[in-house]
Each structure stands twice: as C-alpha cells, then as structure tokens.
C-alpha cells in the first residue's frame, strides 16, 4: 500500500524536524534566549506527539496489510487488472 510508505516518509520527516528543533532549542539556551528556547521546546513536543501518532498508524496499517481479507484482495486485483472498456462517448 502506498499509504504505508507515505506514512513512513512522514515519520522520517517528523524525526528530522524534531532533531532540528532540539538543536535550535539548545543553541537558544546557550545564547540565553529563553523565549526562543521555549518556543523550540514546544515545537519539539508537538513533533514528538505527531511521531507517536504516525508510529501507531504505521503499526495498524502494517498489521492490516497482513490480515487483508479475501474480498479486499480480489477487489484490488480486479481494479488493477480491469478489462472494462469505456462505451462510446456521447
């Protein structure tokens, strides 16, 4: 499923953003700019929450792929291998 790969890419991007926010937060702390440090800390906390949600979704989708029922498998196959021809245009 493409959704799983999109979620994995989003997870990677969120993890990279978290690293950047923590880096900026530490730089702000080192320069004693507590207001900016607090801002980056809040952004890092938000990214951590997003990461947790995305990880849960990835886990659910990965398990869902393993237990895809027969109807869904047939439906996917038929939609990908359809021989349906459009009728004449009116």
pLDDT digits (tens, 9 = 90+) for 40-64: 999 999 999 999 999 999 888 887 6
pTM for this entry: 0.66
pLDDT at 90 (0 to 100): 44
pLDDT at 27 (0 to 100): 97
Write down the domain spans for the chain. Answer: 9-62
Tell me the chain's radius of gyration from C-alpha atoms.
22
> Which residue stretches of the chain have pLDDT < 70?
1, 64-90
Closest CA to 58 of 6, 1, 7, 2: 7
CB 53 within 8 A of CB 27: no
pLDDT at 12 (0 to 100): 94
Pairwise CA distance, residues 85 & 83, whole Å: 6
pLDDT at 71 (0 to 100): 53
């Amino acid at each position: 499923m493409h959704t799983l790969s999109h979620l994995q890419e989003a997870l990677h991007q969120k993890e990279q953003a978290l690293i950047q926010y923590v880096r900026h937060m530490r730089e702000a702390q080192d320069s004693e700019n507590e207001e900016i440090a607090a801002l980056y800390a809040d952004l890092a906390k938000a990214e951590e929450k997003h990461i947790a949600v995305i990880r849960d979704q990835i886990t659910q989708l990965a398990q869902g792929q393993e237990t895809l029922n027969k109807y869904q498998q047939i439906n996917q196959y038929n939609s990908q291998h359809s021989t349906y021809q459009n009728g004449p245009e009116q």
